[in-house]
């Protein structure tokens, strides 16, 4: 099973991924957790270019191509092999993030995004995607606290530093993605108690 977690900044994805992994391990499953951009040595190098504060000033097309270059390596050399071996793969962000951030957030043409996706990873999709939804201001406040002790050129806050209206478009983008893919996407209120969110995630997964 391939499970992805999506959401805006400060939505609590990392916490829920760790809790879900622990749940699966307790029940005897092999679990791999990974992230995007990243997950392989090559993709992690690209990650530095995309999310660090001083990672670069990319054109919209160059940025999208970098995301999908990293994703292609991730899918082919890590995710698919793990799935073939019978592992559960849990990923922090996947293609939905690129569509939400670059498409809805930055206004990149959605059809071109889908064409690049097809060239890069074909029709490969998660089995289930959890979208953790949170008010933009609350999410950014959470993210700010997380970054408080790390403030230099390598800080991964390139997107957090964008204006609030970008993050509002991002949030609506995620909700639109969920609306278009109801068989795969489950939207959860990330302002709930952590344990309540976890319980809803477990209830939605049939193993």
Q: What is the DSSP string of 13-81?
A: HHHHHHHHHHHHHHTT--EEEEESS-SSHHHHHHHHHHHSTTS----HHHHHHHHHHHHHHHIIIIIHH
Tell me the domains of the chain and their CATH numbers.
2-204 (3.40.50.300)
Rounded CA-CA distance 92/138 in Å is 20
In the predicted model, what is the mean pLDDT of residues 184-199?
A: 96
3-state secondary structure (DSSP) of residue 133: strand
Q: What is the pLDDT of residue 131?
A: 98
Q: What is the pLDDT of residue 150?
A: 56
**Bridge partners for 130 per DSSP:** 5, 186
Q: What is the pLDDT of residue 113?
A: 97
Classify each residue of 2-21 as buried b or exposed e, where b means 16 or more C-beta atoms within 10 Å of its C-beta. Answer: bbbbbbbbbbbbeebbebbb
CA nearest 181: which of 130, 136, 132, 133? 130
- Summarised one tens digit per residue, pLDDT across range 40-84 is 999 999 998 888 766 678 898 999 999 999 999 999 999 999 999
CA nearest 96: which of 21, 20, 13, 170? 170
Q: What is the pLDDT of residue 5?
A: 98
- Summarised one tens digit per residue, pLDDT across range 133-184 is 998 888 888 766 655 555 555 554 555 566 788 899 999 999 999 999 999 9
In the predicted model, what is the mean pLDDT of residues 2-7?
A: 97
Q: What is the pLDDT of residue 116?
A: 98
Q: What is the pLDDT of residue 156?
A: 47
- Note the Cα 179 to chain centre separation in Å: 17
**Residue 95 scores a pLDDT above 70:** yes
């Amino acid at each position: 099973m391939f499970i992805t977690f999506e959401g805006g900044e400060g939505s609590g994805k990392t916490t829920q991924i760790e809790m879900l992994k622990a749940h699966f391990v307790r029940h005897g499953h092999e679990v791999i957790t990974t992230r995007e951009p990243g997950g392989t040595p090559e993709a992690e190098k690209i990650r530095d270019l995309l999310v660090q504060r001083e990672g670069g000033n990319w054109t919209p097309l160059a940025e999208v191509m970098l995301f999908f270059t990293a994703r292609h390596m991730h899918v082919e050399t890590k995710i698919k092999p793990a799935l073939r071996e019978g592992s559960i793969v849990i990923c922090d962000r996947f293609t939905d993030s690129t569509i939400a951030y670059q498409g809805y957030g930055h206004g990149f043409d959605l059809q071109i995004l889908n064409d690049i996706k097809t060239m890069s990873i074909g029709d490969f999709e998660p089995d289930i995607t959890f979208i953790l939804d949170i008010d933009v201001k609350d999410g950014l406040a959470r993210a700010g606290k997380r970054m408080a002790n790390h403030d230099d050129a390598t800080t991964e806050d390139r997107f957090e530093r964008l204006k609030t209206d970008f993050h509002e478009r991002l949030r609506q983008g995620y909700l639109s993605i969920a609306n278009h893919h109801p068989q795969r996407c489950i939207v959860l209120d990330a302002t709930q108690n952590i344990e309540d969110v976890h319980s809803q995630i477990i209830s939605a997964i049939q193993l």
